[in-house]
Amino acid sequence: MLTLRSKKASAPDWPAYMASQAERVKDPRLARFYAGGTLDPQMPIGEAPLLAMDFETTGLDGSRHDIVSIGLVPFTMERIRPAAGRYWVLSPRRPLSDESVAFHHITHSEVEKAPDLSTILDELLERLQGHLVVAHYRQIERSFLDAAIRERLNENLLFPMIDTMSIEARIHRQSWWARLRRWAGRPMASIRLNESRQRYNLPPYTGHHAQVDALATAELLQAQILHHHTLETPVSELWR
Amino acid sequence: MNIEQLDIRSHMAQFPPFDSLADEHLDRIASDVEIRYYQAGSELLSKDQAIDALWYVRSGAVEVYQRSGRLFNRLSEGDIFGYSDLLRSNRKVRYPVSAIEDTLIYFIPGETFEAVCEEDDDFSEFVETGGQRLKVTVQQQRDDSGLMTTRVRKLITKAPLMVDATTTLQEAAREMSDANATCVLIVDVTDTQSAYTFTGRDGRYWQLNGILTDRDFCTRVLAEGKSPQTTVGEVMSRKVIVTQSDESVYEAMLSMLRNQVHHLPVLHRRQPMGILHLSDIVRHETHSSLFLVNNIFVQTTPAQLARLADEVRTGFVRMVSDGANSEMISRALATIGRAFIQRLLELAEAELGPPPVPYCFMVLGSMAREEPTITADQDNALVLHDSYDHAQHGEYFESLAKFVCDGLAGCGYPYCKGDVMAINPRWRQPLTVWKQYFTQWMDEPNGERLLHSSIFFDLAPVHGEAPMVEALQDLIAELAPQRPVFLAALARNAKNRTPPLGFFRQFVMEQDGEHRKSINLKRRGTAPLTDLVRVHALACGSNSQNSFSRLNDIDKTKLLAEGVTDRLRYAFEFMSMVRMRYQAASIERSEEPNNSVDPEQIDSRERHNLKDAFEAISNAQKFLSFRYIMPSRQDGTQGKSSSRGGR
């Protein structure tokens, strides 16, 4: 609980940030997106329109690697709607390594025909608008999207996200109980997507596909909220 | 299809009814799925909540509760629920559902569900018949008694009687008599082993060549005038219908019906193990209800008996789903009903003391015919010994009657609306008075009175001095054939309720209590049929009560044209079965069973059969008017009644 409070103190004032960005950015698409603002910080999570987002990338460093696919699945605490989701394979600026082909099941030929991120940016922003984005390990989604936009438009794209992995980490890594376990030399609980899901009796899915992982993330958040929060928890307590 | 939907699809494809869906339908379902996570202990569906989707358990487990709060079913990975509510017009939840584990649910939207139901018959059949509905509750009871799951070998108690073809008929008959067997198998030694041979105890190869039953001794031996010295090989049936020892009893029963045989040699591979007789199956089926009967006889208060009422219902549902026929089910229900009465009378006598004069408690109507369904109310009466003195004994029998009728009402047999019960002093009378009642009814049949009293012409003793009730049965059987006015009046009454068929063979619907279009299968089907069978049975002096037995008695006369009684038997069996299936389905849905069916809900083949059944009744009713003509008052031939008029 102590850790949670210190984190809360460091949570940025997202509505203010979005408003100032709306004034600052020159690209009209980004300006429109920022002007759309965030959800009301006091909105209960149980009422929030959410959007699970997952990227598959060529590596882990946003400045050197690229996004190869994006999966989106819209949901609320009541329903996850895969049919309303969206999936894109994108063309990376740098060639795809054979290892990442094997890992993501995306082939060279698929990537060759794929569009560049800039061509889908309109639709992507439109889908993000009005939703609170949920990702597992938001560092990837946030830094890769920001880097990709900076590279193409020389501007920032940052917005609030809920990170299911940090929710999991708070419970299994940063609680006093988890620290005690570590101090006693017990292995740390895994907070990877699939291992986290198992703790909530969620079924295993075929991993490493942006669309499947987005769906898996949506289910995980529903489970986490029910187990560790309430439907009344304001979104600002969860977003970072 | 998106890849995450492939994951959903491949999971569903492992479970019924999705496993047998065409690819396009499965694709459609998987791509429309919506998802939600539920924590253990939370309520997924509450009663009367609106429902707009079929629920599929992807992981976890849920429990479904009946309205009474009793556990109805437990479902886990791959199971579906909510379909019976979706099929209802108001789409409201009847059974609350709770998660017993953390559970992930896939929702199949109502529209998708409907579309697939519309196009895939197997799928809609699965959801309509509730394929897995009673998984837990029914399976437990089914374990050791179901016709579907019991193997034939379990019913075999002794080795078959076997003789060779050169045995004389007389010798075979003597051996059958000694072994108390109703049939003999004819086996012969062969030199070579073949697909038809088995190895005998003597190590030689034997082959099953024929069968001779007690019925064959009548039709193939006596009727043909064969000498007792004829060999069995000459007269035996060479076409032997057999079954394997690991076959289900249900299959064996179907085989008997299909081949019109009552004896079925049971083989283990090719070795004869025993003979299965139709009565073995009936006995087996009754045996599972005997459990309940046994249970009835160990209860010590009416309140304890009342607690068994639910078991009667579950037993009924089980018999229907096991594929027992209506005659078996009705006889079982009649046995159970009689057991309740007997036990209540024993308890009453224990409380009130031994009866001051002998009595017989009799049942009337469907219970007396051994044709009750699960909705039967109580129709009963008391026949007292002629030494009965009202002033002295009246109070005792009043208390006795009250004890039994109140007790029966508690056990799920509602009070008779027409007040035909032993608690009515009019129906608690000495034998002489009862004889006067019946004589008067038959001598002076008055339409209205007959309508009211036709229920008394189906009667059977349950407890006490049975000969007193048998004396009444004999009186009726003796007098009725000589009372044409009575028979004509009875025949006219039997036509009051007509089958619901219009001029062009379309169904004529009625509104039931809940204002749904329906057909009352009892009022418009089985009741008119038993009415008209009763007229014929009384006319030919039968003292049977059961409609099938009455039809057998009618067959012995030439009263009805050939084939008519068969059609009536078929119509009766068919309508009874449809009625019982509907009642069982109502009980499964926690609804009160009744006699109404919605023809729209019957598949087209059955609808056709139902029309045939109604038509058979309709034709038989028309025949009644020709056969039983009301004699004119002037030339009345009915002895003393003629002067008093026979309206």
* pLDDT, tens digit, 9 for 90 and up, residues B50-93: 999 999 999 988 888 766 666 667 788 888 888 878 887 788 88
Domains and CATH numbers, chain B: 3-133 (2.60.120.10), 152-274 (3.10.580.10), 345-647 (no CATH)
Report yes or no: A17 at the B interface, CB cutoff 8 Å. Answer: no
Mean pLDDT of chain B: 83
User: Which of A119-123, A143-147, B283-287, B569-573 is least confident?
Assistant: B283-287
In this predicted structure, what is the pLDDT of residue A175? 65
Residue in B578, B504, B542 with CA at minimum distance from that of residue B326: B578
Q: Which H or E run includes B272?
A: strand B271-277
User: Which residues from A are below 8 Å from B60, CB to CB?
Assistant: 201
Q: What are the angstrom distances between the C-alpha of A71 and each of A29, A30, A50, A215, B251?
A: 21, 20, 14, 9, 54
CB-based contacts of B251, cutoff 8 Å, min separation 6: B243
Residue to substitute from B1, B4, B42, B105, interface A, most A β-carbons within 10 A: B4
Q: What is the pLDDT of residues A4-13, one digit of tens each?
A: 344 444 567 8
Among B97-111, B259-273, B298-312, top mean pLDDT goes to B97-111
Which amino acid type is present at position B476? I
Report yes or no: B49 at the A interface, CB cutoff 8 Å. Answer: no
Whether the CB-CB separation of A17 and A33 falls below 8 Å is answered with: no
Q: Nearest residue on chain A to B100, judged by CA atoms?
A: A201
Rounded Cα distance, A139 and B191, in Å: 87
Shortest Cα–Cα distance, B13 to chain A (Å)? 15
Model confidence, pTM: 0.47
In this predicted structure, what is the pLDDT of residue B573? 85
Rounded Cα distance, B125 and B606, in Å: 14
Look up residue A119 and give its two tokens: 């061509």
User: Which residues from B are below 8 Å from A214, CB to CB?
Assistant: 4
Q: Do B37 and A200 touch (CB under 8 A)?
A: yes
In this predicted structure, what is the pLDDT of residue B146? 60
User: Which of A79-83, B340-344, B643-647 is least confident?
Assistant: B643-647
When comparing pLDDT for B270 and B59, which is higher? Answer: B59
Residue to substitute from A50, A56, A75, A80, interface B, most B β-carbons within 10 A: A80
User: Which of A176-190, B73-87, B469-483, B606-620 is least confident?
Assistant: A176-190
User: Which of B211-225, B234-248, B308-322, B576-590 is least confident?
Assistant: B308-322
Q: Do B4 and A80 touch (CB under 8 A)?
A: no
User: Which of B52-56, B96-100, B485-489, B558-562 is least confident?
Assistant: B558-562
Look up residue A169 and give its two tokens: 């980490």
Q: What are the angstrom distances between the C-alpha of B554 and each of A99, B533, B543, B544, B551?
A: 88, 9, 11, 10, 5
In this predicted structure, what is the pLDDT of residue A138? 87
Name which of B4, B59, B107 is nearest A211 (Cβ-Cβ): B4
Q: Do A80 and B34 touch (CB under 8 A)?
A: yes
User: Which of B273-277, B458-462, B498-502 is least confident?
Assistant: B498-502
Chain A window 86-125: which residues touch B at a Cβ cutoff of 8 Å?
87
Domains and CATH numbers, chain A: 44-229 (3.30.420.10)
Residue B231 is given by DSSP the state B
Q: Do A203 and B11 touch (CB under 8 A)?
A: yes
Name which of A80, A226, A227 is nearest B35 (Cβ-Cβ): A80
* Residue A60 in this model has a pLDDT that exceeds 60: yes
Share of chain B above pLDDT 70, in %: 87
User: Which of A170-174, B273-277, B529-533 is least confident?
Assistant: A170-174
Question: CB neighbours (10 Å) of residue B229?
Answer: 9
Rounded Cα distance, B532 and B289, in Å: 31
Residue corresponding to tokens 């030439």: B558
Chain B window 100-129: which residues touch A at a Cβ cutoff of 8 Å?
101-104, 107
* Residue A185 in this model has a pLDDT that exceeds 70: no
**pLDDT-based confidence at residue B281 (cuts at 50, 70, 90):** confident
When comparing pLDDT for B561 and B465, which is higher? Answer: B465
* Residue A103 in this model has a pLDDT that exceeds 50: yes
When comparing pLDDT for B89 and B103, which is higher? Answer: B103
Q: Do B60 and A201 touch (CB under 8 A)?
A: yes
Report yes or no: B340 at the A interface, CB cutoff 8 Å. Answer: no
Residue B630 is given by DSSP the state P
3-class SS at B116? Answer: helix
> What mean pLDDT comes out for the span B246-262?
77
In this predicted structure, what is the pLDDT of residue B462? 93
Whether the CB-CB separation of A58 and A97 falls below 8 Å is answered with: yes
Share of chain A above pLDDT 70, in %: 81
Rounded Cα distance, B437 and B443, in Å: 10
Q: Is A183 exposed, middle or buried (0-12, 13-18, 19+ CB in 10 A)?
A: exposed
Shortest Cα–Cα distance, A51 to chain B (Å)? 14
Report yes or no: A227 at the B interface, CB cutoff 8 Å. Answer: yes
User: Which residues from B are below 8 Å from A226, CB to CB?
Assistant: 37-39, 42
> What mean pLDDT comes out for the span B394-400?
95
Shortest Cα–Cα distance, A221 to chain B (Å)? 9
Shortest Cα–Cα distance, B34 to chain A (Å)? 5
3-state DSSP of chain A: CHHHHHHHHHCCCHHHHHHHHHHHCCCHHHHHHHHCCCCCCCCEHHHCCEEEEEEEECCCCCCCCCEEEEEEEEECCCCECHHHCEEEECCCCCCCCHHHHHHHCCCHHHHHHCCCHHHHHHHHHHHHCCCEEEECCHHHHHHHHHHHHHHHHCCCCCCCEEEHHHHHHHHHCCCHHHHHHHHCCCCCCCCCHHHHHHCCCCCCCCCCCHHHHHHHHHHHHHHHHHHHCCCCCEHHHCCC
Residue to substitute from A107, A196, A201, interface B, most B β-carbons within 10 A: A201
Question: CB neighbours (10 Å) of residue B396?
Answer: 19
In this predicted structure, what is the pLDDT of residue B60? 87
User: Which of A98-107, B56-65, B243-252 is least confident?
Assistant: A98-107
Residue in A111, A129, A127 with CA at minimum distance from that of residue A67: A111
In this predicted structure, what is the pLDDT of residue B167? 94
Residue B248 is given by DSSP the state B
In this predicted structure, what is the pLDDT of residue A5? 40
Name which of B11, B37, B42 is nearest A219 (Cβ-Cβ): B37
CB-based contacts of B641, cutoff 8 Å, min separation 6: B443, B444, B483, B485
Q: Do B34 and A227 touch (CB under 8 A)?
A: no
Rounded Cα distance, A213 and A88, in Å: 14
- Enumerate the β-bridge partners of residue B75: B62
Rounded Cα distance, B28 and B7, in Å: 14
User: Which of A88-102, B45-59, B542-556 is least confident?
Assistant: A88-102
Q: Which ipTM value was assigned to this complex?
A: 0.86
Shortest Cα–Cα distance, A60 to chain B (Å)? 24
Look up residue B469 and give its two tokens: 């009730």
Rounded Cα distance, B573 and B526, in Å: 9
Alpha helices by DSSP H, B211-277: 214-216, 232-235, 249-259
- Strand order across the beta sheet in which B183-190 lies: B162-163, B183-190, B205-213, B197-199
Alpha helices by DSSP H, B246-365: 249-259, 278-296, 302-306, 309-321, 326-352
> What mean pLDDT comes out for the span A211-236?
94
User: Which residues from B are below 8 Å from A78, CB to CB?
Assistant: 36
Shortest Cα–Cα distance, A89 to chain B (Å)? 13
Radius of gyration, alpha carbons of chain A:
18
Rounded Cα distance, B545 and B537, in Å: 9
Q: What is the pLDDT of residues B432-449, one digit of tens each?
A: 999 999 998 898 887 667
Residue in B7, B105, B103 with CA at minimum distance from that of residue A200: B103
DSSP strand pairing (B205-213 vs B197-199):
antiparallel
3-class SS at B519? Answer: strand
Q: What is the pLDDT of residues A17-49, one digit of tens each?
A: 999 999 999 999 999 999 999 999 999 999 999
Whether the CB-CB separation of A173 and A189 falls below 8 Å is answered with: yes
In this predicted structure, what is the pLDDT of residue B578? 86
Rounded Cα distance, B297 and B552, in Å: 34
Which amino acid type is present at position B623? F
3-state DSSP of B409-433: HHCCCCCCCCCCCCCCHHHEEEHHH
Share of chain B above pLDDT 90, in %: 34
Report yes or no: B59 at the A interface, CB cutoff 8 Å. Answer: yes
Number of CB pairs, chain A paired with chain B, less than 8 A apart: 75
